[in-house]
Structure 1
Amino acid sequence: MNLPTTNHPNALRHIAVAVALGLSVASGGALAQSSATGIIFGQVQGGSGATVQIQNVDTGQTRVLTVDADGRYRASSLPVGRYSVTLMRNGQTISTRENVQVSISTGTDVSFATASGATSLEGVQVVASALPAIDITNVDSRTVLTAQELQKVPLGQTVNAASLLAPGTVSGDSRYGNVVSFGGASAAENQYYVNGFPVTNALTGLGFTELPFDAIDQQQVITGGYGAEYGRSTGGVVNIVTKSGGNTWRFGATVDWEPRALMDSPRDIYYPRNGNGKDGQLFQDRSDNRTWSTRYGAYASGPLIKDRLFLYATAERRETSGSRGVGSELAGTAAKTDSKTTRWLAKINWNITDNNLFELTALGDTTKIDRTVYSYDYSTMTEGPLLGTEYLKNYDIVGAGATPGGSMYIAKYTGYLTDNLTVTANYGKTESKHVDTPLGASGVPCPLVVDLRSAPSTINGCGITGGTVLSPGAKDNTDGWRLDVEYQLGDHHLRAGLDNLNLKSYSGLQYEGGVYYLYQDTADVNLTGYPNANLPANPPPYLVRQRIIDFSANVKVEQQAQYIEDHWQINSNWLAYIGLRNEQFSNYNGSGQIYVKQRHQLAPRLGVTWDVYGDSSLKVYANAGRYHLAIPSNVAIRGASASLFQGQYFTFTGVDPVTGVPSGLSPVTGILYSNGADGVTAPDPRSVAAKGLKAYYQDEFILGFDKALGTDWTFGAKATYRNLKSIIDDFCDEAPFAAYAARNNIDVQALGIDAALSAHCYLFNPGQANTFSVQYGDGSYHDWTLTNEDFAGNSNGVGFPKLKRKYLALNVYLAHQFSDNWYGKVEYVWSKSYGNSEGLLKSDIGQLDPSVTQDWDFPELMIGSSGYLPNDRRHQLKAYGYWQMTPEWLFGANVAIASGRPKNCIGNAPGALDRQGYGTSFFFCDLNHDGTPEATPRGSQGRLPWTYRLDLNAQWRPAWADHNLAFTADIFNVFTQQRTLSIVETNGGNPSYGRTISYQTPRYVRLGVRYDFSL
């Protein structure tokens, strides 16, 4: 530890006594804090009536507080950054603490004490910066990463990469874009904030609006136990505060390269040797799927008016080119892809006065992708002719679909009205547009064409996506505001607030080219269910089915919340936290009607910390809380809004040789529609969801401790238990209604009850009784309460199980604070995630339909569904740190080791269990290939291999450039481990069963140059 400086006689004795007493005084008030600020607090022994001056080192903003009768002071809602804290009496400086770091939502204890033998504060002057490493004022579980740490540890330059440093976080399924999973929850259950405003994907909850990586001042990752100010999350919270300008003009620029030549080729993917017909054959050639990536960035920061008005502005451009990705042998395509991402941020901070602060943030995030698609012949391993092109904007065809992107604006006011009363208010809005435009080789949209005729010659269409594309005009808009009031009342730090957010989306899917043509042998066509189905007297050998879909709608979710909380300093060692959050959710369909409304979703939060020795060297803490989640907007697109599903059969006389489009069409059936007689009218909201739906919610309990080991080391452990108590999903089974009618002697035909009971799906709370509004023939609605017995009233007598998703974890860590020129942290987590539902998602099959998965569609699907869940990683070891070898040279490392994901075998059900024709969707498999399905409960097929990853970096800041110039080199996955991360888990004779879907990213290198200077 560096010795503080002083001019006082007998300095060392006074310093030793002052520091010892400072550590032994009581912590001054307890502290929770808004999502973008922190607190400085403390106690002054014998200091009643003195004042404490807190000054931001970079902006000059100054607050002066009077020490109360108990010797305590507290400064809340401070912008993150560096501060100088000075104790004063009668205008004279008594003691100063320099370099006090304020972190997000964290309390920093800066206490002062008289020296031995002194009777008052006069005559004692201490200047120091040593502070306890343990924050005894919080009951949650958090990891805070500063901009300096993010630059010194080898990381992918994304928020997700930084989040994975936190304990209990794992990458989600690659089919969701590798969004992070927190504490066993699905990857769609997190909340992301930038400067206090939520930026989570408005449609699905997957992903968030990104910002320039260099704009991050601090990133806080909360993995549990968060207070009542936070809601709408049953996973984790990622909270980012961006950099701000100060009184010094600073400039910088950076360039990073990831050369294609220094990137290893990803592993080819082969069919597994499972006896299903393609043992060991090549499925996907990925040998040339390497890229050249470049990132350019620059920033400017400084005072527009000294001490009052400040600017921070930054922008970055990321370009990736050279990718030549070959599709699977089923797709038979190869694509050359170029992507360009532009991100920018501008922030104005206005210190109107020292007690009235205003900030305005604007940022943009736009990704554009251009793909050129060719046919590919796997027999010769060569490219064929051009098939077409595809242009995408803020849309990810590989991962999570529409990505937030777009623009965002946030305004925030902070008012320190008195020493004890603080008010903060913010307002924000976002807008994001999404584009997916495929064009054929001729430059025009082409339809999807499939030929199933027995004729020897096939019809080839020119479509390039092989399925659906995003509806034109897709976009998301959000706007929200919140108001927070804090008041210190003796030993109670009270806080209350309002938190409102509106999410609006226009989205949906259509077939590529707007239409899908399926050519079939007439003998294979089943016209059952089609209206006006009449084949000609002498039918032709072939028919073509034309299908048009349009699942598009303007939907909205309104989310409102109120909360109140009290941090109560019971005595010098004990702090209690008591909070209550009340949430309301309203989901609107495409016609502007509410189809689900939930009120008074009460979420109590309780916590306690025990400063065992009263010196912040040992903290024991515990907390318990309930956390709610709203139904995502996407549920309304198909489940509650009008859906066009137009199918019709035709005879035809010709086929376009390029597009495959039939000509000379003559209808042989009428047209089918869904969700409304005309495909335009939304279903009555009363027929969409159960009445009085309980919100999605989870209970959580945490017990832990943190221990200081000397001045540089900390050690700790915690246990976490999470229990998902309620979810909302859909079921599509008419049998429970029939059982209810039989049980209550209801004559369905006589009453003319809507036959559509068996024609669509209903939102409900799985595993319990639900009440539905059923329409009778006279147009009236009547409540039917379906019991668990009704849900089991099918021909197989199988009912829904009770919902179960539980997460148990024990983690231990050892950290070395930065001293002796190095910093390091190592953390081990043992965890178990088990149950019969992953939550909002279904990673088993990569289903991207949050809250409307196939899991609960009918009871037989849930047989054997209980077991280890997809985000279960039994063992995780993470270690990261850096060594400042000399002022010029710095080296860093990041290690991640984890056990593999559990494996499933999902196949066909035996006998009559598949009443709905779902095929390979059951936890049964023909493992012996003898045609007899065997029960294969969830997670019973072993695990994928352990994964190992080592990342290293080096940084050189030459002295001849005053250390302002930096040359950097990062090597990711040094040993190029490419272990399997996910596999195909559906069997039923599928030759791809067990085939790898994704591997670890192979080794790649990032080289960089950075220059920073100030005026």
Structure 2
Amino acid sequence: MRGRKVFVTLLVMTLALLASPMWAQSNITTGEVLGTVKDAEGGVLPGATVELRNVDTGLVRRTVTNAQGAFRFEFVPVGTYEIRAELSGFRPEVKQGIAVSLGTSVRVEFTLNVGTLAEEVTVTAAAPLVETTRPDVANAVGEIQIANLPLNGRDFLDFIALTPQSTVDDLGRAHIGGMRGIQNNFNIDGANAQSTFFGEERGGTRPAFTFSQGAIKEFQVIPSSYNVQFGNASGGIINAITKSGTNDFKLEGWYYFRDESMMEDFKKPPAATVAPQKRAFEQHQFGLSVGGPFIKDKLHYFLSYDGQRLDRPLALEFRNFPAGREADFEAKTGLRLADESFRTITQTNDDDVILGKVDWQVSSSLLATFRHNYSNYEGQNATSDSITTGVSNNGLERNKFNSSVLNLNAVLGGNAFNELILQYAKEERPRMANNTSIPEVAISSDAFFGRNNFLPNNLIEERTQIADNFSYYLEKHGIKAGFNVDLVSYDDYFFRYQGGRYFYRSWNDFFNNKPSQYIQSFSDYDGRVKFDTNYYSGYVQDEWKPSPHLTITAGVRYDFQDNPKPEETNPKFPNTGKIPDDKNNWAPRVGFAWDPFGEGKTVVRGGFGYFYDNTPTLLLANAMLTNGIRVVRVTLNCTSSQPCPTFPNTFPSLGSLPVSTPDLFVFAPGYENPKTKRFSIGIEQELGGNYAVGGEFIWSYTKHLERLLDLNLVPVGYTEFGTHYYNPTLRNYQDFGRIGQFTDDAESRYWAVVLKARKRWADRWMFDASYTYSKWRDNNSNERTVSLGTYGAGDDQLNIMDNWGPGDYDLTHKFVLSAVVLLPFDIQLSTIATVRSGYPYTPTDGRDLNNDTYTGDRAWWNGVHYGRNSFRQPYYRNVDLRLSKIFRFGASYELEIIGEAFNLFDNSNFRTSITQMVNYDRSRGVASLNPNFGRSNIAGSPRQYQVGLKFRL
């Protein structure tokens, strides 16, 4: 309630500000156009009228040059413009073909000759290739690339991989500049497009797409932004805008198809006995977009729909199942083995995305835009892709969200500008279990069946946002300021282990009723927690031009994540009632851009600054749920002092347990959000002929990264290789089992050298190429783990620096090339080529070397204790190709036939999951070197083809 009152107050204040000239924004959804008007002798011409007109929408803006002959248009919507300058006594000059892209600053210079107003001069011009006033580097993906580059799916976010310093992991998370995937920030149409619960884009990574590729006009990735308007991201700012209608009616439809017959066979990895069998599937992607005017030059609309239907079989197979025990399995579980495994099931990935947008040019000084996006995803048997997951252990996944955004773009006089952004968004992520009749069973890693331990669950995330950005320009200064308020409510139903979970080391142990661990949770609150987390940000920045060829920006930003206060406190562990607020997140930044020769073709740019990240509220919810009161989670080790039930029995109530020492999750006192300091310096040079090259050096250091620490581990000595050795029967807190503390003592360091070359679209072709050499080192790379023992728990938890090594997604080398070429006869060719280093991995040991009861200890063999991420996967190579032919009918109809090949050269891209270096036979107490360690056993995706059609009107 308090947050809603704050929101209403800020909204009223902001609307009042629109009535008087104040300040305006840095271009998060638009660009800017600026320049000077001079006479033939080079003298400045004050009082000249400059008119800007969008050739597609008819938007017109006018201004008058100041005493220095300078003019500026802020909040210029992306598009192509015609600009006219005139002054009595001089011939007017018109420059056509000026392209304004997202976030760019386009400089246009006029030279007027003496003459009459009737002697107008028209020239075709182009925006400068090198931006000489921008301190940071943005990697832009324009409309031509979005529409024509090969894309394996229709998710425009896959183009993030074109960015230097970036990589995208198998789960679809982007890691930019040596940062975790949760350290990025997503904005679409100026509004927050995040799920702050999970720390990822709204909708997550399971849907094929959540915005239609056909609805995205441009987007950019900013790895190092010294503009203080951007925040809550130490990684990358992913900033996109959607398409708008124009004065011309336009319609486009598309259809893409592929199935297993358009896919080559997998290659056999060296450590595999047979080559993987390709899975039958059918994928259909289809959609339509339409746009045009309600009122020419005044009111425009744009609508789009995109859909996918994907069915693919998954052949299930429990590993090492003992022959002849099928009847025993059915009698024990109530499940027919033939129904549960050793069969093929169907997985689906079905998506529907609808976007509607209206742009209203209220006046020459006010543009109003409303956009709504609806996304709906459903995946049957989508909880797990593992062949060892039985049908009963899988589930139905859904994700649905609506996002409404209102943008008011106002010009408040010749020097003042304002943008107001309002958003309401609601996302739901229900996940249903296939079976709830028996507890979950894990047979080592050979089989999983029964009710999945985290199903069913649901999350409802509801967001109300107001953002306002202002600018006021003086002779040499541009003062920018703004604020952002996100009020977010969460309803999290996540009653994990409510149905119980048995763990067995082997099938033999399962049939003989010898579990090694049992977990069950209890709750009088239905395993649910509701809470609000509000996010407040403000910034102020000065853009100073001490000379026409030097721009210096200096500003400060403040971010505050207002965390909830838990409703319960466990009296036996008072810290359960505390989630710290980090209130000192001041982020000063300074940047510069210098044109050393004053020709607009060279820029030296750089900066230094501080950046903060939010903590995903998934961690907060876990701490408030698993506090020993709201949810009581008990882990039993099936010993005489901790006896386990007999499968399939569960404990009917907490009071029926032989012992009750629940697990807890808490936050460390004084916990702080991640803090990064970053420095970069680079140079970019236009070569002529629409070519440019550049290089950049980037360095960053991040501290206060989150990790999980078990507070109930008691060290009693040291191993022979120097790590702590524990006694699991001892506890620091006798009333509890495992105590997972979210701690902020992890850190990372990163540096990179980036070389780039590009050619913008001209003469029917373009390309963009980059090479990155980088080093990413940290002592914990987890994203947002809430499970003790799932990430790095086998390492020395009490000495985190012992875990220092390459980050999980460290890439020493990365080269990426994209190109689009229009050939004769309306044939178009485009490609994306990527070569990169393999990811690192850690050699593990089958023994619990430090006796902490967690698996995954780093390997110890022949006197060597191997380091974290001390081995690497093989190199990755991939080339995608798109070839199309356009057929024209009449004056306005086009049909494009498309063929695409992914992994054109059928590179094997083998990798290994055999990361256990040392095997251990518990029955004999004998350790041995794994002869298959590090050998490739997983094949990358083989060459695939896709066909498509596009119809345009």
Q: State the TM bucket, normalised to the shorter chain.
A: 0.7 to 0.9
Aligned to 2:467: 482
Aligned amino acid, residue 44 of structure 1: V
Aligned to 1:760: 739
2:283 aligned with 1:347, yes or no?
no
Partners in 2 of 1:519 and 1:810 — Cα distance?
49
Aligned to 1:598: 582
Q: 1:918 aligns with which of 831, 845, 854?
A: 854
Aligned partners of 1:598 and 1:693 also within 8 Å = yes
Determine helix, strand or coil for the equivalent of 1:983.
coil
- The Cα of 1:960 is off from its aligned counterpart by 4.0
Aligned partners of 1:155 and 1:161 also within 8 Å = yes
Determine helix, strand or coil for the equivalent of 2:145.
helix
Q: CA RMSD in A?
A: 4.0
CA displacement, residues 92-115 of structure 1 (integer Å, 9 cap, x when unaligned): 971111121111111011111245
- The Cα of 1:226 is off from its aligned counterpart by 4.0
Partners in 2 of 1:827 and 1:541 — Cα distance?
56
2:852 aligned with 1:873, yes or no?
no
- The Cα of 1:968 is off from its aligned counterpart by 1.0
Aligned to 2:952: 1012
Aligned to 1:48: 46
Partners in 2 of 1:373 and 1:813 — Cα distance?
40
Question: After alignment, is 688-697 or 210-219 more displaced?
Answer: 688-697
Aligned partners of 2:94 and 2:120 also within 8 Å = no
Determine helix, strand or coil for the equivalent of 2:817.
strand
2:898 aligned with 1:950, yes or no?
no
Aligned to 1:159: 156
Partners in 1 of 2:813 and 2:212 — Cα distance?
33
Q: 2:487 aligns with which of 494, 502, 515?
A: 502
Alignment of 1:779-858 (within 5 A): 803-838=746-781, 840=783, 854=792
- The Cα of 1:133 is off from its aligned counterpart by 0.6
Runs of at least 5 residues in structure 1 that lack an aligned partner in the other structure: 1-29, 273-279, 395-404, 454-459, 526-539, 677-682, 740-752, 767-802, 842-846
Aligned to 2:57: 59
Going from structure 1 to structure 2, the CA distance change for 1:719 and 1:999 (only over 3 Å counts) comes to farther
Partners in 1 of 2:384 and 2:123 — Cα distance?
69
2:673 aligned with 1:695, yes or no?
yes
- The Cα of 1:188 is off from its aligned counterpart by 1.6
2:940 aligned with 1:1000, yes or no?
yes
Aligned to 1:628: 612
Aligned to 2:187: 193
Partners in 2 of 1:376 and 1:106 — Cα distance?
45
2:155 aligned with 1:145, yes or no?
no
Aligned to 2:551: 575
Alignment of 1:837-986 (within 5 A): 837-838=780-781, 840=783, 854=792, 859-860=797-798, 862=800, 864-886=802-824, 888-907=826-845, 913-914=850-851, 916-921=852-857, 923=858, 925-927=859-861, 934-941=864-871, 943-960=872-889, 964-980=894-910, 983-986=913-916
Determine helix, strand or coil for the equivalent of 1:514.
coil
Aligned partners of 1:204 and 1:850 also within 8 Å = no
CA displacement, residues 591-634 of structure 1 (integer Å, 9 cap, x when unaligned): 39761212131101111111112121111111111110121101
Q: 1:34 aligns with which of 18, 27, 35?
A: 27
Aligned to 2:413: 418
- The Cα of 1:489 is off from its aligned counterpart by 1.5
Alignment of 1:709-748 (within 5 A): 709-733=687-711
Q: 1:369 aligns with which of 376, 379, 395?
A: 379
Aligned to 2:96: 98
Determine helix, strand or coil for the equivalent of 1:148.
helix
Going from structure 1 to structure 2, the CA distance change for 1:207 and 1:373 (only over 3 Å counts) comes to closer
Aligned to 1:276: none
Partners in 2 of 1:640 and 1:934 — Cα distance?
42
Determine helix, strand or coil for the equivalent of 2:548.
coil
Partners in 2 of 1:341 and 1:307 — Cα distance?
35
Aligned amino acid, residue 316 of structure 1: D
- The Cα of 1:315 is off from its aligned counterpart by 0.5
Going from structure 1 to structure 2, the CA distance change for 1:567 and 1:665 (only over 3 Å counts) comes to closer
Going from structure 1 to structure 2, the CA distance change for 1:377 and 1:896 (only over 3 Å counts) comes to closer
CA displacement, residues 457-515 of structure 1 (integer Å, 9 cap, x when unaligned): xxx99x84664234434222222111111111111111100111233333354468834
Question: After alignment, is 975-984 or 185-194 more displaced?
Answer: 975-984
Determine helix, strand or coil for the equivalent of 1:247.
coil
Determine helix, strand or coil for the equivalent of 2:803.
coil
TM-score, normalized by length of structure 1? 0.76
Partners in 2 of 1:937 and 1:958 — Cα distance?
59
Aligned partners of 2:498 and 2:522 also within 8 Å = no
CA displacement, residues 34-55 of structure 1 (integer Å, 9 cap, x when unaligned): 3111101111113211011011
Going from structure 1 to structure 2, the CA distance change for 1:164 and 1:376 (only over 3 Å counts) comes to closer
Aligned partners of 1:114 and 1:121 also within 8 Å = no
Determine helix, strand or coil for the equivalent of 2:471.
strand
CA displacement, residues 174-199 of structure 1 (integer Å, 9 cap, x when unaligned): 2xx12111011111211111101111
Going from structure 1 to structure 2, the CA distance change for 1:31 and 1:573 (only over 3 Å counts) comes to farther
Aligned partners of 2:251 and 2:288 also within 8 Å = yes
Alignment of 1:315-464 (within 5 A): 315-326=305-316, 329=319, 334-371=344-381, 390-394=395-399, 405-440=400-435, 445-450=436-441, 464=449
Partners in 2 of 1:859 and 1:926 — Cα distance?
17
Partners in 2 of 1:423 and 1:758 — Cα distance?
55
Aligned partners of 1:225 and 1:702 also within 8 Å = no
Aligned partners of 2:566 and 2:579 also within 8 Å = no
Going from structure 1 to structure 2, the CA distance change for 1:819 and 1:662 (only over 3 Å counts) comes to closer
Aligned partners of 1:169 and 1:182 also within 8 Å = yes
Aligned amino acid, residue 437 of structure 2: C
Aligned to 1:614: 598
Runs of at least 5 residues in structure 2 that lack an aligned partner in the other structure: 1-22, 39-43, 204-209, 321-340, 569-576, 718-731, 921-929
Q: 1:302 aligns with which of 274, 292, 298?
A: 292
- The Cα of 1:758 is off from its aligned counterpart by 8.1
Going from structure 1 to structure 2, the CA distance change for 1:387 and 1:70 (only over 3 Å counts) comes to closer
Aligned amino acid, residue 390 of structure 1: G
Aligned to 2:660: 672
Going from structure 1 to structure 2, the CA distance change for 1:389 and 1:873 (only over 3 Å counts) comes to closer
- The Cα of 1:995 is off from its aligned counterpart by 6.9
State the number of aligned residues.
851
Aligned amino acid, residue 393 of structure 1: R
Aligned partners of 2:25 and 2:481 also within 8 Å = no
Determine helix, strand or coil for the equivalent of 1:637.
helix
Once the two structures are aligned, what percentage of the paired residues are identical? 16
Partners in 2 of 1:851 and 1:128 — Cα distance?
64
Partners in 1 of 2:27 and 2:260 — Cα distance?
44
Determine helix, strand or coil for the equivalent of 1:728.
strand
Aligned to 1:778: none
Partners in 2 of 1:452 and 1:357 — Cα distance?
61
Aligned amino acid, residue 128 of structure 2: P
Going from structure 1 to structure 2, the CA distance change for 1:613 and 1:652 (only over 3 Å counts) comes to closer
Aligned partners of 2:96 and 2:125 also within 8 Å = yes
Aligned partners of 1:336 and 1:372 also within 8 Å = no
- The Cα of 1:936 is off from its aligned counterpart by 0.5
Aligned to 1:246: 246
Alignment of 1:216-227 (within 5 A): 216-227=216-227
Aligned to 2:72: 74
Going from structure 1 to structure 2, the CA distance change for 1:346 and 1:594 (only over 3 Å counts) comes to farther
Aligned partners of 2:226 and 2:608 also within 8 Å = no
Aligned amino acid, residue 425 of structure 2: T
